[in-house]
Structures are given as structure tokens and as C-alpha cells.
Chains A and B, each alone.
Chain A
């Protein structure tokens, strides 16, 4: 087999752009394996593992760009290089404006900038965030792999200066109705969200929109904010700001179950603020929330409904035109008695977590890469067993490739693999729309859904495909168009993750008794 290597020194592109270019190049005729990337240690290791490295690549540094290809038959490097150029230029066309090399020079160009979004590799993120805070700019830090002590220092600086320090690992925020990074286009309204979970914030803001409500601000904190080490610094700042914000009538707090002492601190602050507040500590207990006068949301959907009602609006029904009982009866007829199991294939970590928490009550233990109990951790993450729910956005599956909300190939492959198991009754999936996400997540999955049905048919069984689409009609992908594509492929669409889970639970409970 032939190999080709091309190098461009001192040419920098961001990782997501390059990973998407690699994905496109793999589709070219005659290409067996290809990697386009910056010569970081991680990428050098990856090409080494693929057997595509050479001395030239080994000697490059993180500012050098390389392409390495393994050809199935004869090589066609010129065509491939043209394609690379075309793809990189396509990525560039939307912003051919002046791009300065540093934050300081950017500020000379835009001296009234007020917020910095940082998504550089984790080890550089602290320096960049600190520079921004020192220039009195609010920060949204998307990068992960930032040390806890660095996070604490950044948040303390922000608190002392009265600034937002959203993150690290903050995927979603909506400030002044502008979705930042992974955010949906939702109605303006009176619910102020502070969320330690990106997809949690997306799910509640989208459901609020579907119910006819709206949001004032959605402040992200990053997943570690409510840990004992960080002490909820950003959530406390967020609560204070929304308490003082005239547009915000109701606060909605979203997080995985926090450290108990931090939970009490946060709830006390919400109580002291004096505005009604709803809390979704996914899977947490209602008692502690109610002790502080808060309203408990049993699921993200439940929290959204209660928040909308507290603003004085009557929540619209999201599924009034569906006869779920009839649908359930029809669907159950398709299953054979030996089809007993769930395979949840999630791109949103919090949605996966919520699914497992809501489902475990009804169907028992669920194996996972992010299990609710250590004994339910999958021994081999690539092999599901019995009931399994996978978070494909977890680090386990994203080394060297973009998040599945951007690049769905890990889920496409996994679905085909799961279809080999004739004991599967339900495939449960999330589709997350909004800025940041893939431009057509439903369209990317549909051919694989169809192919997986054929695989199951060959084994003489049919499984059910159940999904929720986290998005609105105002999102660039358009909720209705995405839902229509999935329905056309025979997927049952429910209006929230909680509802998709509840529908799946009914099926799995019935199948367990057969």
C-alpha cells in the first residue's frame, strides 16, 4: 500500500475544522486512511497508531500542519490536495475579515468588546482566559482539560471584578438572546437559567420555548462549578445577577447532583434573592430544594413546565396531537417476545444521564460508559449488553475526533453494530439542534437508520426507533424539517427527552413480561 505525506510549516487551523476535513477526505475514492492535523503530541501519537507517521512528521511542532494518507490502490495526491484546499477555503469564506493574532490586537480593532469566547486546547486556555479577565472582559470558556486550581483562580478573579466566568467546559450560554457556542434560538421571556450542564441548558431552554415561554438569559457555569473545590462561585454570581435583573421573573437552576454543602449554599442564595426558583438537580431529591422554598423539577421537562407556569403563563401542550396509547399498541405488535433490551445512543451527556435516571426505576440496571453505579460500567465500551445507554460525547469516544453533535460518525457506526443484536427492542436517540451542532443531524443519521433496519430484517426482527429533537423552528436546522426527516425514516418523535424515555419505558416494561 502507498503512503503520501504533505507538510506545511507554520500554518495553523483549529482542530474541529481539520477533523471535519479528514472526515470528508475519507470518502474519496482510493483513500484507505487519512489524517489531516496540526502536529500536536496527540496527533503524532494518532498517526503513529495508524501506522502513518514518518520521521518528517515526528520532527514537526504544534504550529505545523500535515496531511498523511494511506492509499488503497494507486495514489492520487494531486486530487486530494485540491480537495483539502477546497474544504479549507470553504471553511474560511464566512470570515475573510481581518483576524488579528492575539486578544490584545483584537481589542485595538474592537475596543468596546465585552465578551470573549475561548476554545483553544485546554493547556493554553487558562492563560487566554486570565488575559481576558484582566482586561475586564466577560469570558465563556468552552475548552475542557483545565486544572481545578486554575478554574478556581479564574472564577475568583471574575468574582472580584464582577465578571462572568462561564466554564471551563461550558458548552452553552444565551446572553442577551444570542446563543453562544452550542445554543438554540429561543423566545425572549422572563425565565433566567443558570446551568452547570450544556445539554441540560439546551433541553430546558428549548422546552420552555415549545411551551410558549421564553428566557431572559442562560448563564453557563461549567460542569465542575458546584463541586466542593470550586464552591459554586459562578452559580452564586449568576443567581445574584438574575435576581437583580428586571427582565427575569423566575430562576431555573440546572445541574447534576451537586456536593451537598454547596447545594445548600446555592439554594440559600436563591431563597435570599426572593424570586421564585425551580431546581433541576438531575436525579437529586426534592426535600432539600423544598426546604429552601424552591420548586423541584423531577426531569428537565418538568422543571421547564414549572418555570413557565411560575411566570404566570399557561404552558402549552407539546403533544396534544399525538395519541400515545394507540401508537404504543401499534408499535408493540411489531416486537417479538425475545426483544427485551434498550440501546440508548446519545450525543448529549446530560440527556443520557437523565434517561438512565428516569428509566432505571422501571427497567432496572442500565449499562453505560457513564453508569449510575460503578458495577454497571461496560467492560468493553464498544460492546453493549442487555440495557445499555451510551454517551457518545464522553471523552471515551472523542479522542482525535469532533463531538458527535458535530460529527455523527461514531453514532452511525454504533447503530449498525447494535442492529446485529436481535434482542434489542428500542433504539433511543437524541438529536441536538442549534448553533454549533451539525447542520443536518437527522439527515446524517437517516441512511444509517434505514440500513440498521435492513440488518435487523435479515435476522427476522424489527426494532423501534424513538427519539427527541432538542431544537426550535428558529434554529438554523429547523425543528420541523429535522423531525419530518426522522419520521419519514420511521422514527417515533416525542417532544422531550423525558417523554421519549417514558414511551420507551412502557415498551420495555411490556416486553419484560412477555
Chain B
């Protein structure tokens, strides 16, 4: 189902995961945005991150 054309008619509501400045820029333009305080899963331990992913 095409969800792209319906998006063009909606107000943009953004979740920002990563660089905070992208959220700050959107906020400055009065765009609704929520910034995720992302950090590497399992403290950056890749083996542990893979295991966690399997559990999910």
C-alpha cells in the first residue's frame, strides 16, 4: 500500500535518532520532533548486541 503520497498531505512529525543538531534544526522551524537519546546497544559490545537482538 502506497504510504508516500498520503505523507505528502500530512504534517511532518519526526523522530530523530543520532545527531542531535538535526532535531535542533527542525525545532527551530517549528516542526514537531522528538530526539532519541541513542547510545550503542550493549555498551558497544558487538557480541553482546547480537545476542540481545536474537532475544528480541
Contacts and interface: CB of A to CB of B under 8 A. Distances in A.
Interface in A1-24: 10, 12, 14-17
B51 interface: no
A117 to B, nearest CB: 5
B19 to A, nearest CB: 4
B17 A436 contact: no
A321 interface: no
A161 B36 contact: no
A98 B37 CA distance: 9
For chain A, the bracket of interface size reads 35 or more
Contact of A127 (B2, B15, B35, B53): B53
A113 B3 CA distance: 13
A15 B22 CA distance: 13
Given A63-B39, A100-B36, A14 B4 contact: no
B55 interface: no
Contact of A17 (B4, B20, B39): B20
A12 B37 contact: yes
B54 to A, nearest CB: 12
Nearest to A247: B8
A61 B22 contact: no
Given A113-B14, A142-B19, A61 B37 contact: no
A481 interface: no
A100 B37 contact: yes
Interface stretch (A104-112, A144-152, A492-500): A104-112
Interface in B14-41: 14-29, 31-32, 34-41
B4 A162 contact: yes
B27 A62 contact: no
A114 B1 contact: no
Given A106-B34, A178-B12, A121 B40 contact: yes
Contact of B44 (A61, A92, A128, A237): A61
A270 to B, nearest CB: 16
Interface in A234-265: 237, 240-241, 244-245, 247
A119 B29 CA distance: 20
Nearest to A110: B34
Contacts, number: 166
A101 B38 contact: yes
A116 B33 CA distance: 9
A219 to B, nearest CB: 8
B13 A120 contact: no
Nearest to A104: B36
Contact of B34 (A100, A162, A178): A100
A383 interface: no
A4 B1 CA distance: 57
B15 A116 contact: yes
A490 B45 CA distance: 52
A201 interface: no
A113 B15 contact: yes
B2 A178 contact: no
Contacts of B14: 113-117, 180
A94 B41 CA distance: 26
Contacts of A117: 14-18, 22
A94 B23 CA distance: 9
B20 A138 contact: no
B19 A16 contact: yes
A176 B8 contact: yes
A175 interface: yes
Given A16-B19, A99-B35, A117-B15, A138 B24 contact: no
Interface of B: 1-5, 7-8, 10-29, 31-32, 34-41, 43-46, 53
19 contacts: A16-B21, A62-B40, A95-B23, A95-B27, A95-B35, A99-B34, A99-B36, A100-B36, A103-B36, A106-B36, A110-B13, A110-B32, A113-B14, A113-B34, A115-B13, A119-B19, A162-B3, A179-B29, A244-B2
Given A101-B37, A119-B22, 20 more contacts: A14-B20, A17-B21, A61-B45, A62-B43, A63-B40, A63-B43, A63-B44, A94-B28, A99-B37, A110-B32, A117-B17, A117-B18, A176-B10, A178-B12, A181-B22, A237-B4, A240-B4, A435-B25, A435-B29, A436-B21
Interface of A: 10, 12, 14-17, 39-40, 61-63, 91-92, 94-95, 97-103, 106-107, 109-110, 112-121, 123-124, 127-128, 132, 136-138, 142-143, 161-164, 175-176, 178-181, 216-217, 237, 240-241, 244-245, 247, 435-436, 476
